[in-house]
Amino acid sequence: MTMIDHAALTTALDRLPARYPGPGGVAGVVHEGRVVAARAWGHADVETALPMARTLRLPICSISKQFTCAALLASIGDPARLDARLRAFLPAFTGPLPTARQLCDNRSGLRDYWALSILQGAVAERRLTRGDALPLIAAMRTGHFAPGSAYSYCNANFRLLAEMIEAETGETLEALCRRHVWDPAGMATAVMASDTSERLDGVTGYEGSDATGFLPAVNGAWWLGDAGIAASLDDMLAYEAWIDATRDDPRGLYRQLSKPAFHDDGTPAGYAMGLGFSTVAGLAATGHGGALRGFRAQRLHIRDARLSAVVMFNHEASAHVAAADLLDAALGHRAPPPAPVPDGWDGQWLCRETGLIARIQTGRTDACLRYAVGAEALQVDGDALAAPGIRVERVGDGLRMTRALDHEVLAFDPLPVVEVADGSEIAGSFACDELGGATMQVEARDGGVHARFTGVMGTGRFERLVPAGKDVWLLATRRSLDAPAPGDWTVIVRRGAAGGVTGLTVGCWLARALDYRRAG
């Protein structure tokens, strides 16, 4: 039996409103199947002064993915039973299709359809109906790696799973989740809240920060198995208690979902069946986070300690860090102080394999790595910089980055910084055959360079193109239909034999290596 430090846990809970400032939030901890602490602070809506409460439902967003996989296991069993259905949803795909199990494990290689929506002209405030997403997915012709060879987070995987589960069973995903998980777990008010424009229980999500102020977030996306569920804190704490109650049952759904998983070469996988595998307080943990504009959620479970934490905010502070803080406090875990970061790490590099820029900016005891969706904090580890699942080493003037979760070892070449560049050479129109002829328009006037995308979802807004290196630019997306937005897109200029610009290669971590040819 693991003892917990109730005094430290109480202090950590009391500090949440100050450490993660925003309109409101809820948090709770379950130990050995019992709720040992819970909090609800602030307001669910600041205009109506509705107090935040444990019983109010908030979007749990991508935490939904594990429920999709649970419904699959309970109603169908072997994911391979769905493999034959996938071709109908990816009719244009060339090469081997991923398997349903690879969809469950985010190892399909498919590009994320929320990221692709930007390249198809979507703006953050538009409505996206159930019927809008599937044509976007159906247009995919290739993935950004061979199925099964690596990991990449992809909401399309779980949207496809949900559609195939409903087609196979003849039932809605909501009905299956209710029968197999929500009712057995006592999640009395959980619901499939697919239309994110609809407010549940009077709760509003807020964008912004304590420095800029908070404004109501506008959402219009339609989600299903990728992120469609809403639940209260009481629902989620009941789920954690059910996980504990079924921990020794070999047929228990969570026990099946959280079995250790491995890549094809036998190395441990960091993600499987809609769950992330991590280390918290020095112990193995499973869980998942969720994000929608104006909302953040996280659940973490440490099986060996029979301990879980759930945090949900109606603003955009890090629920993951908050949940880990609670578990650290409960277990009396204190990480050793980080070592100072030596000189020589600041700079930027271009990845040979993915075509994406990695940028490192150091502080006194940590370093900020920008490569994937958001900033990743690294600390000194011998001669390297590291974080859980990430290790960055110097190789001459280049870098080697090991990303255990992604199952990738990547080589980066130095990219000397270019702060000013003439964008006139890339001005014009470019078309992407992979995206069915969707276009990228680049404008350059008096030193300002901007680009916008047009496709099946309309015409997007102009965003700034910033020179990064010779023939390399950065285009930042800060707001999109999904949250968080994909972040920085790397744009690499392609030139013909005579030196003229013939095209661009555009990519981000969620959607890599999309070739655009000059069209005008």
pLDDT digits (tens, 9 = 90+) for 191-230: 999 999 999 999 999 999 999 999 999 999 999 999 999 9
What pLDDT is stored for residue 29 in this prediction?
98
At 357, the amino acid letter reads I
Task: Look up residue 270 and give its two tokens.
Answer: 């960091």
pLDDT confidence tier of residue 238, bands split at 50, 70 and 90: very high
> Please, are residues 104 and 79 in contact by the beta-carbon 8 Å criterion?
yes
- Alpha helix locations (H) across 333-395? none
Amino acid at 44: A
CATH 3.40.710.10 fits 6-109+145-330, yes or no: yes
Separation CA 69–CA 272 (nearest Å): 9
Burial of residue 298 (number of CB atoms within 10 Å: 0-12, 13-18, 19+): buried
> How confident is the model at residue 483, as a pLDDT?
84
Please state whether beta strands 307-313 and 295-302 pair in parallel, antiparallel, or not at all (unpaired): antiparallel
The pLDDT assigned to 46 comes to: 97
Supply the pLDDT for residue 384: 95
Mean predicted confidence (pLDDT) in 471-482: 90
Compute the average pLDDT of residues 381-395.
94
CATH code 3.40.710.10 region(s) in the chain: 6-109+145-330
SS3 309: strand
pLDDT for 1 beyond 80: no
Among the ranges given (54-58, 395-399, 479-483), the one the predictor scored with the smallest mean pLDDT? 479-483
d(CA 185, CA 300): 17
The residue annotated as part of the active site, out of 64, 65, 117, 480, is 65
Could you read off the pLDDT of 306-363 as tens digits, one per residue? 999 999 999 999 999 999 999 999 999 987 888 899 989 999 999 999 999 999 999 8
Residue-wise pLDDT for 143-184, tens only, equals 999 999 999 999 999 999 999 999 999 999 999 999 999 999
Model pLDDT for residues 16-36, shown as the tens digit of each residue: 999 999 999 999 999 999 999
Based on DSSP, count helices (H) and strands (E) in the chain, helices before strands: 12, 30
| Catalytic pick among 62, 64, 258, 480 | 62
Mean pLDDT within 263-280:
93
Inter-residue contact 309 to 28 (CB < 8 Å)? yes
Q: Domain 347-414 belongs to what architecture?
A: Beta Barrel (2.40)
Topology annotation, domain 423-518: Lipocalin (2.40.128)
Rounded Cα distance between 448 and 442, Å, is: 11
Q: Which pLDDT value is given to residue 438?
A: 96
Q: What per-residue confidence (pLDDT) applies to 61?
A: 97
Q: Is the Cβ–Cβ distance between 97 and 147 less than 8 Å?
A: yes
For 394-431, write each residue's pLDDT tens digit: 999 999 999 998 999 999 999 999 988 889 999 999 99
Across all residues in the chain, what is the average pLDDT? Answer: 95
State residue 2's pLDDT score: 83
Average pLDDT on 121-142 reads 90
CATH 2.40.128.50 location in the chain? 347-414, 423-518
Task: Please say whether the beta carbons of 132 and 457 come within 8 A.
Answer: yes
What DSSP state is assigned to residue 181? Answer: I
Tokens of 166: 């409903």
> How much is the pLDDT for 62?
97
pLDDT recorded at residue 129 = 87
The reply to whether 470 belongs to the active site is no
| CA-based torsion, 192, 194, 198, 199: positive or negative | positive
